[in-house]
């Protein structure tokens, strides 16, 4: 596996150290080589959200840095329009603006930087901040790129044909609901919907009793495209801004009753949780990997194929899911890991998702969000959902404190984590993506 050499520069140097001491810890998610962007404000305040960058356990206030004259003029100008706590205007400017900001921050936060004394007052400890969805999400599309998840779920319902004939030819997706997307720390009431049990004559409206999580990544769109103008795959990654962790909560019983013939609806629209920091495509450059199809599988159609996608279309992100039940919190117990997997198992790449989304002339806009679908591994213990881990609820999962789960119970909190690691480069991470299930509203 080789990174993209044309995308590597001084800011990826593993030897770089920051004057923010916490950024130099080996297991830090946000070293100087990462520099993810988001929006924040002081916790408990009524201040407006502001654009910021994570470094170690701190947040850099980008507007304060700009107003203090600590950014080059072209970088300062690129932040115009972000004053209301939405990054869309910056995202629309594309890769050149991201690289310029990344380089300016890397130099200012570097150990020995002349900017340290002036920049230090504009740092806020992350524990004292609160976050919002980092941009205005006009549209949200959820794909189904995790072939191991698709196969495992398919076997539950179609043992003889777990994957439908189109799966290996077309990136499957559906349009989701952007209004219910929240940031890490999101708490939501157990959803209600129509469900029908196998022995029931008629469906009933009731709280979901098969509530599940889904371990996904989210891709934020940077520059959009004009209506009617598809994005060629050779240009597709130029329209990707960066990645976040994404939990696409799912009411499996509601889904089973409603999804035919038009697909997910209320089973997916009640909550979706994102990690607050967008890890840019530039930060991910050292962790690229070749894309290929397994022997015997069909090759992508020409519009979904390119030399660049074959050489480095995949991104190596290690993923994990943890649970903390109410009983665990009451006892002071830490969350328990449920599974680990990797984004390397995705059957379709970021570029292929973007290209296919626009091939019919659909226009993407800055801030649009694409979900990857659940990223499970090939082994049962690597499943990215309880639906898989418990074989559809048939095999309860035993937790270390003696509790068991088939699906989520009230009070359960799920945390997603992800990081990238490769010899010769600094480890970078995404931060936590955490959400909690509350009791259904009566």
Tokens found for residue 359: 């091939």
Tokens found for residue 201: 């004559």
Alpha carbons 337 and 90: distance in angstroms, whole number:
36
- Could you report the per-residue pLDDT of 366-414, keeping only the tens digit for each? 999 999 999 999 999 999 999 999 999 999 999 999 999 999 999 999 9
- Could you report the per-residue pLDDT of 217-250, keeping only the tens digit for each? 999 999 999 999 999 999 999 999 999 999 999 9
Cα distances from 178 to residues 70, 182, 263, in angstroms, run 35, 9, 17
Active-site residue flag, 103 = no
Alpha carbons 303 and 311: distance in angstroms, whole number:
16
Alpha carbons 119 and 265: distance in angstroms, whole number:
47
The answer, yes or no, to whether the previous bond of 261 is cis (omega within 30 of 0) is: yes
Please tell me which residue in 115, 149, 209, 357 is annotated as part of the active site.
149
Other Cβ atoms less than 10 A from the Cβ of 226: the count is 8
Alpha carbons 301 and 310: distance in angstroms, whole number:
13
Confidence class for position 1, pLDDT limits 50, 70, 90: very low
Inform me whether the pLDDT recorded for 313 exceeds 70. yes
307 contact partners, CB below 8 Å, separation of at least 6: none
Place of tokens 């371990």: 215
Tokens found for residue 242: 């960066």
Q: For residues 203-215, give the mean pLDDT.
A: 97
**Which sequence spans correspond to the domains of the chain?**
5-132, 140-438
User: Angle 272-245-151 (CA atoms, 0-180°, nearest 5)?
Assistant: 80
432 touches 186 (CB < 8 A): no
CATH number of 140-438: 3.90.850.10
* CATH class given for the domain over 5-132: mainly beta
Output the DSSP codes for 83-121: TTS--HHHHTT-HHHHHHHHHHHHHHHBTT-TTHHHHGG
């Amino acid at each position: 596996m080789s990174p993209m050499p044309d995308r590597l520069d001084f800011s990826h140097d593993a030897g770089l150290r920051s004057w923010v001491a916490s950024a130099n810890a080996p297991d830090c998610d946000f070293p100087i080589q990462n520099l993810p962007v988001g929006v924040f404000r002081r916790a408990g305040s009524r201040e407006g959200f502001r654009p910021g960058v994570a470094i170690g356990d701190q947040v850099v206030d980008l507007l304060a840095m700009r107003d203090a004259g600590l950014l080059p003029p072209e970088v300062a100008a690129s932040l115009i329009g972000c004053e209301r706590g939405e990054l869309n205007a910056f995202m629309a400017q594309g890769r050149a603006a991201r690289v310029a900001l990344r380089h300016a921050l890397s130099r200012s936060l570097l150990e020995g930087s002349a900017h340290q004394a002036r920049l230090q007052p504009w740092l806020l400890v992350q524990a004292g901040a609160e976050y919002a969805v980092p941009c205005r999400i006009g549209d949200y599309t959820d794909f189904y790129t995790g072939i191991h998840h698709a196969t495992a779920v398919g076997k539950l319902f179609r043992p003889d044909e777990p994957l439908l004939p189109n799966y290996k030819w077309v990136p499957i997706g559906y349009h989701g609901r952007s209004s219910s997307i929240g940031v890490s720390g999101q708490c939501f009431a157990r959803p209600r919907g129509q469900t029908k049990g196998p022995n029931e004559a008629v469906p009933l409206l009731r709280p979901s009793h098969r509530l599940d999580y889904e371990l996904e990544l989210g891709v934020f769109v940077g520059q959009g495209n004009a209506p009617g103008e598809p994005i060629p795959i050779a240009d597709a990654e130029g329209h990707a801004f960066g990645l976040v962790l994404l939990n696409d909560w799912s009411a499996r019983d509601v889904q089973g009753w409603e999804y035919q013939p038009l697909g997910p609806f209320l089973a997916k629209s009640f909550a979706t949780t994102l990690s607050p920091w967008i890890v840019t495509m530039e930060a991910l450059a050292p962790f690229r990997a070749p894309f290929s199809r397994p022997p015997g599988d069909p090759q992508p159609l020409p519009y979904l194929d390119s030399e660049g996608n074959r050489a480095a279309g995949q991104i190596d992100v290690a993923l994990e899911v943890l649970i903390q039940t109410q009983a665990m919190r009451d006892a002071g117990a830490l969350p328990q890991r449920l599974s680990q997997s990797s984004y390397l198992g995705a059957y379709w790449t970021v570029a292929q998702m973007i290209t296919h989304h626009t091939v019919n002339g659909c226009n993407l806009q800055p801030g649009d969000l694409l979900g990857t679908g659940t990223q499970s591994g090939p082994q049962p213990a690597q499943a990215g959902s309880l639906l898989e881990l418990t074989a559809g609820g048939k095999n309860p999962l035993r937790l270390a404190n003696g509790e068991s789960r088939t699906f989520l119970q009230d009070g359960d909190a799920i945390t997603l984590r992800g990081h990238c690691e490769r010899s010769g480069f600094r480890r970078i991470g995404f931060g936590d993506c955490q959400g909690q299930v509350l009791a259904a509203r009566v």
